[in-house]
Amino acid sequence: MEFKIAEFNTATAKKLAGLAASRHSVSSKWLDDPDSPYAPPFAVIAFDGNQPVGWCGIGTTRGRNSMPVISIFVLPDFRKDGVGERLARSCLEEFKLYDEDGIVVAYSADGWRKLGRLIEEAGFESHNLDSSPG
């Protein structure tokens, strides 16, 4: 398994377009409009040979309360092998180079407590968008 960091642009979005299942709400907007100011500045892509099998990026949400948000996807056949964790760690470490003051990283993933832990281990504050206050 090889992990590469690529500028997030039209060419990168085309490479990732084959990961059809990754087209959930946040990342699908990024893939459809990679030049958007909300798209991530880079993506970390996991390759099995020449085939992308997962990716991770940190872009921003739209609207008045815009905030950084992490999006991660791994093809089902490559899950449970640590690919997602390696993608998240690489992405968070690379993102530190883009931000000098620290950020809050928001994520939306039921049952992904590990992602929240990885975000915090990387030195960021994490908030699960699926959790309701209480």
Which domains are present in the chain?
A: 2-128 (3.40.630.30)
Mean pLDDT, to the nearest integer, of 96-105? 61
- Output the CA torsion sign for 63, 68, 69, 71: positive
Q: Where are the beta strands (DSSP E) in the chain?
A: 2-7, 42-48, 51-60, 68-74, 104-107, 125-128
Residue 26 to residue 39: CA distance in whole angstroms: 9
Confidence of residue 69 (pLDDT cuts 50, 70, 90): confident
Position 108 scores a pLDDT of: 56
Between 71 and 52, the higher pLDDT residue:
52
Taking the C-alpha atoms of 59, 22, 43 and 92 in order, what is their torsion angle to the nearest 10 degrees? 70
Cα distances (Å, whole numbers) of residue 119 to 37, 64, 91, 94, 110: 23, 24, 10, 12, 15
Between 116 and 13, the higher pLDDT residue:
13
Q: Flag the least confident range among 15-24, 34-43, 47-56, 98-107.
A: 98-107
Q: Give this prediction's pTM.
A: 0.75
Residue 89's identity, in one-letter code, is R
